[in-house]
Each structure stands twice: as structure tokens, then as C-alpha cells.
Amino acid sequence: MATTKTNALRILEAAGIRYDLREYKADEDDLSAPSVADKIGMPAEQVFKTLVARGDRTGVLMACIPANTELDLKALAATSGNKKVELVPVKDVLGLTGYIRGGVSPVGTKKPYPFYLDETVDLWDVVSVSAGVRGCQMLLTPNDLARVTEAVRCAIAKT
């Protein structure tokens, strides 16, 4: 299956960032990040899922955590200067990011939201995140991901 160039891929290319793609057959009934990790042959700890949240003070923000973890909403709130943070309803994700559930990339969203990247990203030479479409992951270095998203690295995942 040949992937169409997504906004995320165009941005990486424009920034001169090297990446590799891993394509897989997306399953509408199982869009979970651990399933994606299995399909692309990488450990779940090395595949990062992007979540969209809303803080009571800052509004929309994004978090990227390992596939096999859950977002620590209290930690994200504290790090982002909010008292409370909640995940946005799935129905709002497309309108906010330009991406559909299962294909939300941390790169190339409709608007540049504050972006928080779990500090475990630094355990890896290469990590995987959505390329902006279901069925395709992009692999890049943690430093390149942080640079292109202007990420704040922090502890926001819990197992």
C-alpha cells in the first residue's frame, strides 16, 4: 500500500528531518496503539500514541506517550499549568487536529497546540508515531520529534 504524503511527512521533509515509514493494515475494530506496535514489529514502549486533551486554563494541548501506558492527567495538568486536564471527546479530535482517531500525528495539526512528550522517549534511538493517517507510522529520532513539535519532555505516562 502506498501512502499519500500527509501534512506530517511534508513538514518533516521541509525541515530536513530523516524518517522511515512502516505501513500496516489498519483494523477499524482495533485502533489501539499496542496493536499498531505489534503490526509494525516494534515494542509498545517504543511506539508513541498522540492524545488530545483540554486544560481548564490553557485550552487544547497534546500529549505523546508510549503505546502500553495511560496518560497521567494529573501530571499533565501540573506540567502544563492547569488545575485539571481531560481528554477531548473522540468526535472533536478531527475538528481540532485535522486527523482522525487512529491517525493523529503530533506533527502537522491544524493549529500548533502545546505538545508534551513523555520523557521515556529518550530511552530510544528511534521512536514511532502516527504519520497522520491510519495504517502508517513514521520512525524518527526523539530529538527530531521534539524539535519539529517544540515538545516539552516530561513525565506524563503511567503503566
Full set of structural domains in the chain with CATH: 7-158 (3.90.960.10)
How far is CA 31 from each of CA 85, 109, 135, 153, rounded to the nearest angstrom? 23, 20, 10, 25
pLDDT at 1 (0 to 100): 44
Torsional sign, CA 48, 147, 92, 80: positive
pLDDT at 2 (0 to 100): 46
Q: How far apart are CA 55 and CA 140, in angstroms?
A: 28
Q: Residue 91 is which amino acid?
A: K
Dihedral, CA of residue 133, residue 137, residue 143 and residue 147, to nearest 10: -10
pLDDT at 91 (0 to 100): 96
pLDDT at 34 (0 to 100): 86
Reading the chain (159 residues) residue by residue, the pLDDT tens digits are: 445 789 999 999 999 999 999 999 987 777 788 889 999 999 999 999 999 999 999 999 999 999 999 999 999 999 999 999 999 999 999 999 999 988 999 999 999 999 999 999 999 999 999 999 999 999 999 999 999 999 999 999 998
pLDDT at 121 (0 to 100): 97
Q: Residue 150 is which amino acid?
A: E
